[in-house]
Structure 1
Amino acid sequence: MKALVSCIITTHNRAELLKKAMASVMAQTYPHLEIIIVDDGSKDHTEEVCRAWVKQDQRIHYIQVPYAQGANHARNLGIQRANGKYIAFLDDDDQWLPDKIQTQTQTLEHNKALFCFCSKVLVYVDREDNVTRRKVSVESRELVFYEDLLTYNWIGETSKIMVQTQLARTVMFDEQLTSAQDYDFYLRILQRGHHAINVKEPLVHIYIHPGPRISTSAKKKFQGQRRVLIKYYKDMSQEQKKRQLHHYRMMEWSKNPNRNTLFLKNTLTLYPWWRNFTLLKRNVRTIWLGFRLRKQLRSETLNKEYKGTA
């Protein structure tokens, strides 16, 4: 008998995007699915859309959270409700390719494994929802172990993974973290001696749309990254500590321009990635994220100052 897979879709106030995500689940070539939609306190017409689906298909279950408590609280509710042997997560603004579940289920069953991830296609869209460009992102390593993950989150977004349900229930997402909960989730899985199998096929479309994908404020983003860094710092090698500190510090921002310049200089000295072309390519995204977060944090600060004078 084929293994049942629980597809957990978390959503918040994005009914129209949810329809596209749901369509990608319904188009899966693997038929043995249950679909759990966890609505994290939406105030739009998400409930109406979901209840209509439930009436049409008995595989679909709808969990409504009275008020927003965050994506990871929603994911944990889905994990608790899941009946499948495996769980696959999908964010409401991402989409699976048709063979995603089939390919990952076969991988886990064939290897008698508990955890895998796939490659992705980054899809950039403008404010009118027009696709401006696509970029395939493939990780080369076959397996990822705990020691590998201490250097960098090679696994990526939760929409890419599949995990054994019992293992997910043992670990769960840390709802106290303000960011990097997915990274923490993977670290705690691999810390138990497991490994992640890389299904190199790009089986997920990750949409990069205007406006921040970061659900928390920039300040909380810093706090979450710092807590994860401290949590696993003792297990890191000296090189890993340098790399992680560099990543965290590149996102730092201050009102004092002189301090920013000094901080940036010290950071680059700490981890001189520009001397190595491979590291240079790897850190381009970190730099971009750093400037984006600084801009976001500055915007939040100015908004508070404006409200304070109004």
Structure 2
Amino acid sequence: MVLNALQTPLVSVYIPTKNRPELLQRAINSVLAQSYPNVEILVSDDGSTDNTPELIAQWQSKHSNIVYLREETSKGACHARNKAIRVAKGEFITGLDDDDRFAPNRIEDFVAAWKGDASFLCSLKYDFDGKRNRPSHYYQRTIRFDDLVRRNYVGTQIFAHRQTLLDHDLLFDERYPAWQDYDFFTNILHTLGPAKRVYNRSYIQHIDHEQNRITNPLRILRGYRLYVTKYKAHMSPSQRLSLLVNANILRQHQMGDRVLKLCWKHLNLWDLFRIYKKQRMK
């Protein structure tokens, strides 16, 4: 069946970016190549100092569905995402990191799968290492809060009803230096209930470059601390322990000692010692 834009709801795709025009072009092209016809693309520029504005102007001259949002000074990726979500006009919203790309059927599959009975939809993904796509292995069809606080079963980038997110103030927490997506997913599940997975691999996450990746283990640790502090009243000791293990916190580049010092309030001493010893032996 050929989809007609007049018969399909508008889907907004936000792409936060900063000083990565070559990667951004690949991301935008993957959205322009979607089989679904009614798409709005919001490029949210967090203060690029290169030729990104000029390149966006060129794309806009060819594609009327590209919206450019720009901050003169950097306010962080979460601010860029939130700005785009607020400005977007689509009934549905989804995100794309500027170094990743969509498979051509991603949006069409999400729209077809949306029944209004889930807080959001997510998919499976591929990790591309420069040579081949490696499939993800998160197979749960229904994802609940109690599951997610143990491990990030969502993966990356969700598809949701935009106005529902805004009505419940479900945006990215701009305090987080890392784990922003994970907190975003968790907050939605805690507020709106379970999410569902669409069984297709329609997101390609590129791990084949090192441009501006979050590699500072202290940022990861701070994200972990904010997350556990925010949700600890709703997490059992077992869930907090599972999260500590599954997120590989203690294995992040010589940070195990600091984790023990900073996170001891969230687990009892025996649990921390046991998992610390286990991770050190790996």
Shorter-normalised TM range? 0.7 to 0.9
> Equivalents in 2 of 1:95, 1:2: separation in Å?
22
1:225 CA displacement: 1.3
Structure having the higher helix fraction is: 1
What does residue 13 of structure 1 align with?
A: 19
The answer to whether the 8 A contact 2:250-2:256 is kept is no
Q: Which of 163, 168, 191 is the matching residue for 1:166?
A: 163
Percent identity (aligned):
31
The answer to whether the 8 A contact 1:28-1:101 is kept is yes
1:268 CA displacement: 7.0
Any idea what the Cα deviations from partners look like across 1:37-57, whole Å, max 9, x if unmatched? 111111121111111112222
What does residue 290 of structure 1 align with?
A: none
* Paired residue type of 1:211: E
What does residue 236 of structure 2 align with?
A: 237
Q: TM-score, normalised by structure 2?
A: 0.84
Any idea what the Cα deviations from partners look like across 1:64-119, whole Å, max 9, x if unmatched? 111122111100010110111110100110000000000011111x3544411000
Instruction: Name the SS for the 1:31 alignment partner.
Output: coil
> Equivalents in 2 of 1:227, 1:118: separation in Å?
26
Q: TM-score, normalised by structure 1?
A: 0.77
* Paired residue type of 1:177: Y
The answer to whether the 8 A contact 1:243-1:271 is kept is no
* Paired residue type of 2:231: Y
> Equivalents in 1 of 2:42, 2:256: separation in Å?
44
> Equivalents in 1 of 2:154, 2:191: separation in Å?
17
Q: RMSD of the TM alignment (CA)?
A: 2.7
Q: Which of 74, 90, 93 is the matching residue for 1:84?
A: 90
| 2:74 paired with 1:65 | no
Q: Which runs of 5+ in 2 are unaligned?
A: 1-6, 265-269
> Equivalents in 2 of 1:245, 1:118: separation in Å?
24
1:238 CA displacement: 2.6
The answer to whether the 8 A contact 2:14-2:96 is kept is yes
**CA gap 1:243/1:147 in 2 versus in 1, 3 angstroms:** same
What does residue 120 of structure 1 align with?
A: 125
Mapping of 1:38-187 within 5 angstroms? 38-108=44-114, 110-124=115-129, 131-158=130-157, 161-169=158-166, 170-187=169-186
What does residue 220 of structure 1 align with?
A: 219
Q: Which runs of 5+ in 1 are unaligned?
A: 125-130, 275-286, 288-310
The answer to whether the 8 A contact 2:119-2:192 is kept is no
> Equivalents in 1 of 2:18, 2:161: separation in Å?
25
* Paired residue type of 2:131: T
Any idea what the Cα deviations from partners look like across 1:139-192, whole Å, max 9, x if unmatched? 21111011111111111222xx11110133221100011111111111110111
* Paired residue type of 1:115: F
> Equivalents in 1 of 2:202, 2:128: separation in Å?
13
The answer to whether the 8 A contact 1:229-1:244 is kept is no
What does residue 4 of structure 2 align with?
A: none
Instruction: Name the SS for the 1:171 alignment partner.
Output: coil
> Equivalents in 2 of 1:44, 1:15: separation in Å?
8
1:138 CA displacement: 3.5
> Equivalents in 2 of 1:99, 1:93: separation in Å?
19
1:132 CA displacement: 2.4
1:209 CA displacement: 2.3
Any idea what the Cα deviations from partners look like across 1:210-256, whole Å, max 9, x if unmatched? 42663473322211111111211221123212122344333373598
What does residue 35 of structure 1 align with?
A: 41
> Equivalents in 2 of 1:69, 1:216: separation in Å?
19
> Equivalents in 1 of 2:271, 2:253: separation in Å?
12
* Paired residue type of 2:22: E
* Paired residue type of 1:224: G
List structure 1 segments (4+ residues) > 4 angstroms apart after TM superposition: 265-268, 271-274
The answer to whether the 8 A contact 2:256-2:276 is kept is no
The answer to whether the 8 A contact 1:150-1:236 is kept is yes
* Paired residue type of 1:116: L
The answer to whether the 8 A contact 2:119-2:189 is kept is no
Any idea what the Cα deviations from partners look like across 1:19-64, whole Å, max 9, x if unmatched? 1111100000000111111111111211111111122222111011
> Equivalents in 1 of 2:212, 2:220: separation in Å?
12
Residues 217-226 or 170-179, more deviating: 217-226
